[in-house]
Amino acid sequence: MVLLDRLVTILGTYGTRLVGPRPAPDTVLRGVAVHDPADPGPEEADVLLAVGVQDPLTAVELAERSRALAVVVRTAREGGVDPRGEAAARARRAGVSLLAVDPSVSWGQVAGVVYGLVLEGGETEAGRGPADLPALADTIAARVGGPVTIEDPRLRLLAYSGRQTEADRARWDTILGRGVPEALQHRLEATGVIGHLASSAEPVFLPPEPELGMGGRTAVAVRVGREFLGSLWAVCDGPLDAERSALLAEGARTVALHLLRTRVSADLERQVESDLVSRLLEGAMDPTEAAGRLGLAATPHRVIALQAHTPDERHAATLMAFERATTGFGWSRPGRSTVFGSTVYTVLPCGADPSPAREWVAETTRTLPGHVVVNAGIGAPADLAGLSASRREADESLTLHAARPEAAAVAYDESWDDVLIHRLRMASASGRRPADGPVAVLSRHDAEHGTRYTSTLRAWLRAQGDPNAAAAELEVHPNTVRHRMRRMAEVAPLGLDQPSMRLALAIALETYDRGE
């Protein structure tokens, strides 16, 4: 089952614009039809691809005849559908979602996404993984007459063909290291090859680099519309002739379609997993059913709450972290993840030692840009029925880590005391602080007279009234502590003989100390 709202969201990442309001969130899609000008009776389907129709009003009329819930139209120019025009108005009246495709995206690519999402959605949700990308690499290699590699935008290896007898050292290093060697990456950047691939669809020939162990190569970008998805590299002694160059470019387009289908499949996997994990953490799903559908073992798990952001953007880095956390098909990943707002939650098999959870956080965020700030909290271990409590603990640990980001990710069972104090501090700071309370009076006295009454009171409370221990913390003589305690009792009523007052003073000092 695939929802129309999901189709709108995914197509939107490839330059497709929804004209008018979003569809109802529970609108289900089950079929796709392509407009055929030679067929007087249009095929009925939930989604109509108006291929060859550039007039959006005509596309909406065809959708009405097809009883379609959505129609996809590709106009001759970007922004070719006026949201206040006649076509948009008719689509709203008819209850049809009008989707306008960016002209830089081909119909083949749009159809690949729509068919993959609508017609293969159920199969993918049942556990279907991506098609065989190495087999595609072998096919392209046979057509262009040389070994090929398929790489992502960061030059990490996605697939490679056979014919290793023709491999040079750079190809072997790329295969063994699962990515282009660093020295060769620097060379490609310096010679402008990386910039060419990011901005052009034309193949580019790289002459041999004997000092780097690389023979000749021809590379071509793999892209969908304006989005750069990766690159296709073919080993060759010299520039490819026109025929082989055209075959390589055709292979890049096929790889682009494959990566689109793979991304759609991955997105469906993420959607299904995210929904299941959300229900499990909210206590809205039977733990036994969750274990079966998510592949969770009947062992202790911890909930990890993770936020990643930059100074200027709050959500993009979190979505990148969620993508890292959910990369991989089948049950190859140890955790199961979901995202709420700006927080990624992951259920990870982990017992009394929280080290695997911290290692998971480090590995998941390792490839994020250097300026991204990462905060993480780790709940205490729990069985599947207790994961909602572990999630609340992870949230509180995350809040504590955000207050002291220089430390390692906070684990609740290791730092429950700090978490509790932070909770009390935040509760105290949530209302108006007493303007005439003892801590407020001492703070004003310190500011006006240069005294150190608040720091002395804090040290005295930590030392449980021992002037020698408090003096050691303050690096003063014990008599100085005694003198200050007598003088501050004259400034404000402390009531240090009352346990409740001592606790309240300690919490108030924590609040004032951090300026909350």
Q: Kindly report, residue by residue over 321-343, the tens digit of the pLDDT.
A: 888 888 764 446 789 999 887 89
DSSP-derived letter for residue 414 is T
Amino acid code (one letter) for 420: L
What is the pairing mode between strands 343-349 and 204-206?
unpaired
Phi then psi for residue 2, to 5 deg, are -125, 135
Q: Do domains 133-262 and 289-428 have the same CATH topology?
A: no
pLDDT per residue over 23-82, tens digit each? Answer: 887 788 877 888 887 776 667 888 999 988 888 999 999 999 888 999 999 887 776 788
More confident residue, 509 or 475: 475
Tokens 């989604």, residue?
47
User: Is 289-428 in CATH node 3.30.70.270?
Assistant: yes
CA angle 159, 161, 164 (to 5 degrees): 125
pLDDT of residue 302: 97
Look at 96-105, 125-134, 485-494, 507-516 and tell me which has the smallest mean pLDDT. Answer: 125-134
pTM of the model: 0.49
The helix or strand, by DSSP H or E, that contains position 149, with its residue range, turns out to be strand 148-151
More confident residue, 112 or 446: 446
Calculate the average pLDDT of the chain.
84
Up-side HSE of residue 146: CA atoms within 13 Å toward CB?
23
Q: Give the CA dihedral 363, 368, 370, 375, nearest 10 degrees.
A: -70
User: Is 133-262 in CATH node 3.30.450.40?
Assistant: yes
Q: Give the CA dihedral 40, 43, 46, 50, nearest 10 degrees.
A: -50
Tokens 């190809």, residue?
171
Q: How confident is the model at residue 468 (pLDDT cuts 50, 70, 90)?
A: very high
Return the domain boundaries, the chain. Answer: 2-120, 133-262, 289-428, 433-512
Q: Per-residue pLDDT averaged across 9-22, rounded?
A: 79
Quick one: tokens of 509? Answer: 């000092």
Quick one: tokens of 195? Answer: 């910039």
pLDDT at position 444 over 60: yes
pLDDT at position 392 over 70: yes
Distance of CA 318 to the CA centre of its chain: 5
Of 295, 453, 281, nearest to 382 by C-alpha is: 281
Quick one: tokens of 451? Answer: 């005294």
What number of residues does the chain have?
A: 516
Give CATH for domain 2-120: 3.40.1390
CA angle 338, 339, 344 (to 5 degrees): 90
* Cα separation, 237 vs 240, whole angstroms: 9
More confident residue, 292 or 123: 292
Max alpha carbon distance in the chain (Å)? 102
Amino acid code (one letter) for 144: V
pLDDT of residue 250: 84
Amino acid code (one letter) for 251: G
The answer for residues whose C-beta is within 8 angstroms of residue 153's C-beta and 6 or more apart is: 198, 228, 229, 230, 231
pLDDT at position 515 over 70: no
pLDDT per residue over 175-188, tens digit each? Answer: 888 899 999 999 99
